[in-house]
Structure 1
Amino acid sequence: MNISGNTIFIPGATSGIGLALALALRAKGNEVIIGGRRTELLERITAENPGLHAYRIDTTDPESIATVSRQVIVEHPDVNVLIPMAGIMRVEDWTRADGFLDTAEQIVTTNILGPIRLIAAFIEQLQSRPESTIMTVSSGLAFAPLRVTPSYNASKAAIHMLSESIRLQLARTSVRVLELEPPSVRTDLMPGQAESDFAMPLEDFIAEVMQLIETQPDATEIQVENVTFLRYGEARGDYESVVATINQLDPHGRP
């Protein structure tokens, strides 16, 4: 992916990694369009950042995705980068029948169906541009599970394999597939995460991501140093130790 000269749509960019990445990409000379559900928040962000475009979109709603995607393409016909950023992470208890089903369905709808529907809405547009990119967003937890968030872990593992698969299908087109794999970052994704000493400062994460995009334009995965502990545990042969560490388990796998 080129670091500049793109027209980029980032649904799910009203806070956290999405907003920080949108502003960093705009500073590099890209036209950036953000999307989110809260109109007042979109209006405040665009007022504070002149030149940033915004659309109200609900990525859990197929009709909203279809309608807004058509509008974005009509009003920004040069759009050549899609970054489906919207995602949720929730604690679940799979030991009880009423402890997870509703939450799991919400996570699958947001984290898996949302990106799939967005890609479907933009795939013809992206193939019409000479150089295009789909940047998916998985997680270090796609490769090593956090015990309390089963559906989130699974959703991000699905995004990883989806990215690997569609990259093969799109190999002969103008569309490249780039997978962003964040570690834990200091955002409001989970309660207390913004203050966590374990989580990576947001500004440090974004700075490293931008450096990787700029210095590795042909990369297929964007991996900051902090995520490699999770990403390569199985390859290194210390997967069980990685899982135990992030879940604070004893040598017998018990909390």
Structure 2
Amino acid sequence: MNTTANTILVTGGSAGIGLELAKALLAAGNTVIITGRDAARLKAAEAALPGVHTFRGDVAHPADVDALVQHLHNHHPALNIIVNNAGYANLNNLLDDTDTFEKAGREMLTNYLSIIRLNEKLLPLLRLQPEAAIVNVSSIVAFAPGSRLATYAASKAALHSYSQSLRVALKPAGIKVFELMPPLVNTEFSAEIGGQNGIPATQVAEEFLAALATDNYEIRVANTEAFYQLYLSSPQQALEVMNPQAAETLVP
């Protein structure tokens, strides 16, 4: 996949991984449009990334999505790459929480269903381009969930499965489907789960660009590859690694 002279949409691009992806893509010579819910963050991102285009909206809200799609048709008709990065997460205590259903619904909508909707609405535009791609930002927890992120992990597992099916379905149209799977990343998004111990978001962006250039469709960033290999050889051990505090209870 060509990594320059593209027109790229990055959802959730005003902070964290999305911001670093936008920064790297701009530096590589692409036109980049970022979205976000927070106007102040978008304004700060615009100041930090000269040349970036911004659009305020929530991918979970149908009216915002329709407005974004119309905006892209009107102002960025050369759009050929979508990076579905916007996400939402909650910490869980499945034993004691009483609002898991409501929180899980928002996670599933933002992290999975809204991606299906946006891809579907922008697919006609992608099909007009000589080269096009969709990038879904998943997570290491798609393979083995941490108990505190149970419903978030479930939404990412759904996204992983969908990404595989989408890759097969869009191949005849020549549209490439990538899945970006980071481990723990040091961002505000992951602060509650020890994000300070994670890798920098710049590393995610660097490995993403390298994988995009070589058509590496499943991008397992940093130690995610080693964890994936462990998962393939022993799903039980992978689950124990992800939940060390409960390892004894996981042994059958």
For 1:146-165, what aligned pairs fall within 5 Å after superposition?
146-165=146-165
Deviation digits for residues 21-70 of structure 1, max 9, x if unmatched? 01101100111000111122212221232211000111110111011111
Cα separation, partners in 2 of 1:120 and 1:195, compared to 1, 3 Å? closer
Residue aligned with 1:3, SS: coil
2: distance between equivalents of 1:25 and 1:246? Answer: 32
Which residue of structure 1 lines up, in the alignment, with residue 142 of structure 2?
A: 142
Q: Which of 195, 219, 222 lines up with 1:222 in the alignment?
A: 219
1:205 paired with 2:204, answer yes
- Indicate the RMSD between aligned Cα atoms, in angstroms: 1.7
2: distance between equivalents of 1:61 and 1:86? Answer: 12
2: distance between equivalents of 1:74 and 1:253? Answer: 53
Which residue of structure 2 lines up, in the alignment, with residue 245 of structure 1?
A: 241
Cα separation, partners in 2 of 1:144 and 1:230, compared to 1, 3 Å? farther
The structural deviation recorded for 1:96 is 4.2
Counterpart contact for 1:188–1:194, Cα < 8 Å? no
TM-score calculated relative to the size of structure 2: 0.93
Which residue of structure 2 lines up, in the alignment, with residue 42 of structure 1?
A: 42
Counterpart contact for 2:230–2:238, Cα < 8 Å? yes
The structural deviation recorded for 1:239 is 2.1
Which residue of structure 2 lines up, in the alignment, with residue 88 of structure 1?
A: 88
- Of 66-75 and 155-164, the range deviating more from structure 2: 66-75
Cα separation, partners in 2 of 1:67 and 1:195, compared to 1, 3 Å? closer
For 1:169-180, what aligned pairs fall within 5 Å after superposition?
169-180=169-180
Counterpart contact for 1:14–1:45, Cα < 8 Å? yes
Structure 1: which 5+ residue stretches go unaligned?
none
For 1:60-99, what aligned pairs fall within 5 Å after superposition?
60-96=60-96, 98-99=98-99
1: distance between equivalents of 2:223 and 2:77? Answer: 37
Structure 2: which 5+ residue stretches go unaligned?
none
The structural deviation recorded for 1:154 is 0.8
1:232 paired with 2:235, answer no
Letter in 1 for 2:216: A
Counterpart contact for 1:229–1:242, Cα < 8 Å? no
Residue aligned with 2:189, SS: coil
Cα separation, partners in 2 of 1:161 and 1:40, compared to 1, 3 Å? same
- Of 116-125 and 95-104, the range deviating more from structure 2: 95-104
The structural deviation recorded for 1:140 is 0.7
TM-score calculated relative to the size of structure 1: 0.92
For 1:102-117, what aligned pairs fall within 5 Å after superposition?
102-117=102-117
Equivalenced residues, count: 250
2: distance between equivalents of 1:195 and 1:81? Answer: 28
2: distance between equivalents of 1:167 and 1:195? Answer: 31
Letter in 2 for 1:16: G
1: distance between equivalents of 2:195 and 2:9? Answer: 29
Counterpart contact for 1:92–1:103, Cα < 8 Å? no
